[in-house]
Amino acid sequence: MSRRQIERIVTPPAPHYVGDGFRVHHFIPGAVGLSMQRMDPFIMMDYNAPFYFSPSKQPRGVGVHPHRGFETVTLAYQGKVAHHDSSGGGGVIGEGDVQWMTAASGVLHKEYHEEQFSAEGGMFQMVQLWVNLPSADKMSPPKYQALEKKQFGRYLLDDVGSVVEVVAGAYKDAKGAASTFTPIHLLNVTLVDQASAEFEFPAHYTTAVVVLEGNIRINENKDVPANHFALLDHSGESFSVQGQGPAKVLVLSGEPIGEPIAAHGPFVMNTREELIQAFRDFENGEFGYLA
């Protein structure tokens, strides 16, 4: 079986704030070589690398904003986030949990630091990923999946704590908790004492690794440091990830949808005309109401 090779290793771009509660490195789109088209079906990724937020009486976050045409996936590693949307979804994302919101035909959404976390302050680490929807599903009803860590399939790599947690898709005989519109694999991988893991996805899938903690080596010859993003090419199906000491990584792989992408701000559609309609619908209040 042929091996995938690294197409590029991306240094985290300079951080910026989304609202006042998320200090993020914006990898997709914008970083060199990481366009929406190249990363299809993953059309946006912000990474809030570990950062200490001081205590605040007023929870930090992002106020009400719209989405249409895709899904937002928030993976919480440190800290807690509360959120609400106009379709009735909402709750608290705790450490290790995932919020999977299907905006589809349109929702209003807001997200902010959970009240107790905000009052006490603490370390905060999150990934927010936007997953595109096929044209046939872009105007489907919104839905929400609150995924707790205990729901994820687990595959033990050794007997000292190295493990693959399956948020979506599968790893060997472990299955993910999320339902998806297209084939998506999202894997949280913990590697202890230079442990390694082998991964195999179809060659045409878009595949990447985000280093959340520690340093790793891919295919035994390419080192990737903490907070960096490694994009794999389409030259093969398999690759290996080895920790250089303790490490944690997010592995993502998905089948490209292969349709035109028309994006502007919080809307991702297939044509300019659909974007214009999205703005009209939003202005006419068709996304519902959220205080």
Domains identified in the chain and CATH numbers: 6-254 (2.60.120.10)
Q: What pLDDT does 290 receive? A: 73
Token pair of 89 as six digits: 């979804």
| Residues 62/21, Cβ–Cβ less than 8 Å | yes
Which residues, 6+ apart, have CB-to-CB distance to 288 below 8 Å? 86, 87, 106, 107, 108
Closest among 132, 40, 55, 118 to 82, alpha carbons compared: 118
| 284-to-85, 213, 269, 278, 281 alpha-carbon distances in Å | 17, 45, 18, 10, 5
pLDDT value of position 11: 96
pTM of the model: 0.95
pLDDT, position 22:
96
Express each pLDDT in 71-121 by its tens digit: 999 999 999 999 888 878 788 999 999 999 999 999 999 999 999 999 999
Chain-centre distance of CA 259, in angstroms?
A: 21
* 37 burial level (CB within 10 Å; 0-12, 13-18, 19+): exposed
- pLDDT value of residue 90: 80
Q: Which residues of the chain have pLDDT under 50?
A: none
Contact 184, 205 (CB under 8 A): no
